[in-house]
Amino acid sequence: MRINKYLAQCGVASRRKCDEIIAEGHVTLNGKAAKAGDEVNEDKDTVCLDGKQISLKREYAYYLMNKPKGYVCTVSDDKGRKTVMDLLPADAGRVFPIGRLDYDTEGLLLLTDDGDLAFRLTHPSNEIPKTYTARIEGTLTEQDLNPIRSGIEIEKGVLTKKCKAHIVETNKAYTKVSLTITEGKNREIRKMFEAIGKNVDFLKRVKVGELTLRGLDRGSVRKLTNEEILYLKTL
């Protein structure tokens, strides 16, 4: 199998992140620096990460977290900020976030050491639906949301995909909007509203597919059930 897939199945990180780790020179294949595209024979080859041999995992861990604001979705942070890893139980093992939520965004976050599942859930072609609640400063109408629904340019040459959006609550101070998107560009929802001249002052992811935060307090985490794991693998 390709070496990035091998690393992912060893629980190192997602395939995309494993490509970065390989490019940075952290991986060797049979004693030589690995290259993107190398093939690994799991029965014969020796793969090392920073000098330590790694092997395929047979069992994986899967967690669902209600991420609070003020945490970054990385394993470590060079700025010394709190990371979502600080919220995990001590025996969680070497899991990593599937995708990211911004520092100021809260809500549903999945973590695992199953690199293949992480790859499938984050690859744009799979269009996994993710639902958010956004609070927008000021008033909005359903008509105002039409450019967002149909796809809007958030940066020069960068157009979002069509999405679902509707107003949940509105008054003179703010408007609450529910949005379901199928991609995960950096700060995408905030930029979508900036493109129509509006500011998001609160953002929370409430669903991934049909998984929800039901019964999980802010900052809490739990293991996924077998049924939930199977559901994610069949999305």
Q: Give the residue numbers marked as catalytic.
A: 102
| DSSP assignment of the chain | -BHHHHHHHTTSS-HHHHHHHHHTT-EEETTEE--TT-B--TTT--EEETTEEE---SS--EEEEEEPTT-BSSS--TT---BGGGGS-TT--S-EESS---TT-EEEEEEES-HHHHHHHH-GGG---EEEEEEEES---TGGGHHHHH--EEETTEEPPP-EEEEEEE-SSEEEEEEEES---TTHHHHHHHTTT--EEEEEEEEETTEE-TT--TT-EEEPPHHHHHHHHT-
- A 10 A CB-CB count for 205 gives 22
- A 10 A CB-CB count for 155 gives 10
